[in-house]
Amino acid sequence: MRRTLYLFRREAKPKPRERAVTKGEESSKADPPASMAAASPLPVFLLILLGAFLLLPASNAIYCDEDDCYDLLGVKQDANATEIKKAYYKLSLKHHPDKNPDPESRKLFVKVANAYEILKDEATREQYDYAIAHPEEVFYNTAQYYRAYYGHKTDPRAVLIGLLVIVSAFQYINQWTMYNQAIESVKQTPAYRNRLKALEFERTGGIASKKKGHKQMDKKFEDEVRNEVNLQIQGVEKPSVWSLYGVQFLLLPYLIGKLLTWEMCWLWRYRVKKLPYAWEDACYLTRTSLKIPANTWQNIDEFTKEDLVMKRLWEKGNMERHIVEARKGSKRRR
């Protein structure tokens, strides 16, 4: 803090005469100014960028190392594909490891084969020619090289299908994990245990078992009646194959057609013919008006559903009255 105030004082009111330097000011002079400290990351970034630029090989060196691909094959840069092929076959007969066991000849054959692989493909040869003509574009030429040699050359449709399969597999595993965790959490609640006791009491007629294996029997009994207990878990649904992204993508045309058909039927039935809403459609309007998820709506008892539907909450006036009544009821309970 002392150093900052001192710097501000020096810049605001500079004094031409020299004066005695205090101990605090002496330490402030030893340290770099705050403006220099703030500007220091930029030179560091430039040094890193310069180092990376120096470490990168030349644009054409990434293809055939320090050699020229055309010189390795002994052809000119404007040579056609036939000339390049003939030159490669001639050199391969001379330096192939099966023909010439010399280690240096083996190394030369590897370079010749690499040069031929680059020049025989029109796209790769065009990139190489561009790198020779524009050696200053190091980053662009390097990116083009790695894209050509290490990029995926498979069918995009196969890549899309594979991606959907992988994503769907992870989605399915994650859904089952969350569902099992939710089930285990609910099974620890008193409501679940009371429900199990009620079912056990109902099945046994109120006669409790006092055998030593009662715990094992309780476990077996719990597994048997698990499907009978209605677990109301909000926000967690039992995993289904139909909800996976891959399946949804495959069924996308069908889902779009189904949605359009539903919209047309709704428009014809309730906008043109002015028919009264069916029960399912009235439930849908009520649920969307209250912004209730589908799984939560299914867990509501039928009496409450009927009461909400009869209020016709999709109409603005009825919805406003329902909100006012709900607030009054909440205040009375408090």
Condensed to tens digits (0 to 9), the pLDDT of residues 280-320 reads 999 999 999 998 888 788 888 899 999 999 999 999 999 99
Helix spans in 188-251 (H): 190-204, 214-225, 245-250
C-alpha distances (whole Å) from 216 to each of 200, 223, 272 are: 14, 11, 63
What is the maximal distance between C-alpha atoms in the chain? 106
Condensed to tens digits (0 to 9), the pLDDT of residues 69-87 reads 999 999 999 999 999 999 9
User: Would you put residue 156 in left (φ > 0), alpha (ψ -120 to 50) or beta?
Assistant: alpha
Residue 203 pLDDT exceeds 80 = no
Can you give the residue ranges of every domain in the chain? 2-55, 61-150, 156-241, 251-333
Picking from 255, 262, 260, 322, the residue whose alpha carbon sits closest to that of residue 286 is 322
pLDDT, mean of residues 118-123: 88
- For residue 84, the tally of other CB atoms under 10 A from its CB is 20
CATH topology of domain 61-150: Helix Hairpins (1.10.287)
CA gap 30, 35 in Å, rounded = 15
Which residues, 6 or more positions from 281, have their beta carbon under 8 angstroms from its beta carbon?
Answer: 266, 270
pLDDT, mean of residues 161-181: 90
